[in-house]
Every structure is written in structure tokens, then in C-alpha cells.
Amino acid sequence: MESPFKNLNKDDIEKCSILMSKITASDIMLPASKVYITDPDKTVGYAKLKMVRNNIGALLVLKDDKLMGIITHRDANFLGDNAVELSVRDIMSKDLESVLSESSIREVINIMLEKGYQRVPVLENGKLVGLITQGSVIRALSTILSAIS
């Protein structure tokens, strides 16, 4: 495989591939205890305020510890001020793709690329154990590139 990067040779690419095959979702995820969540019955106004106050772009939506969906700041703003009294359930994205703790970073990246996700939930036995963000992936890739240079 020829590298699209002029500073990476075949050996560098092989090293990257080996390192990437060893990184799992659990290695790069934000643990569930640090993930911001909301209830589907809360208002969009409540969700927007929680996102702004915590300087975050999304809330995972859980009901009885079950992942129901995600609401993003973009979702909430797209509908304007008229949406603040709607429930989160009304506008959240549902049927999210998720990964398991042992899923590879490649699987996570493929979901992000194919689905356009910026965040991928990590579930075990249907329960949220973490969240992987684009930033998590970039930090992991930066570590890999540093290791080969």
C-alpha cells in the first residue's frame, strides 16, 4: 500500500496499522461517569441550557439506564426558540450506532465516517459505559503518530 502522506513510508504505515489494531474503545472512551446525560422527558430548553453551562455539544438521552438517543446543540438550535418547550424525545436522534468496549478504533472511525457521527456511545449489555468523541480519536491518532516518529 502506497502512502498518501509523503513523510510516511511502508514501515511507518505498518507500525500505525499494528498500533491501531491494539487500541480499543475502552482505551479512548470518556467513562460514563463523565458523560453528560438527560432524560427524554426534559424540555429542549433545559437540554440547551445544560449544554451551554457545561460547554459541551451534546447530551446522551437515557431512561432507566437505557440509551434512547442523543440531542446535540445543533439539533436544539436548528429548530430555534420555538423548540424550547418541546421534549427532548421529540427532536433527539434515535437508533444510534454504538460499539462495545473491545471494539477497535477502526470500527469507531468507520462509524464516524459512514454515519457522520461526532460521538459514538460505548455500551456493554445495553448499558452505557462510555462515549467516544472525535477528539478522543484524534488524541489516539496523535499518540500513534508520535510513537512512530
- Domains of the chain by residue range: 24-148
**pLDDT value at residue 114:** 96
CA distance readout (Å), 21 to 6, 45, 80, 106: 23, 42, 43, 8
Q: Give the tens place of pLDDT for each residue, 10-63.
A: 887 787 788 788 899 999 999 999 999 999 999 999 999 999 999 999 999 999
**Residue 5 scores a pLDDT above 80:** no
pLDDT of residue 78: 82
What is d(CA 8, CA 132) in angstroms, rounded to the nearest whole number? 27
By C-alpha distance, which of 106, 85, 118 is closest to 20?
106
More confident call, 114 vs 141: 114
Third-level CATH fold of 24-148: CBS-domain (3.10.580)
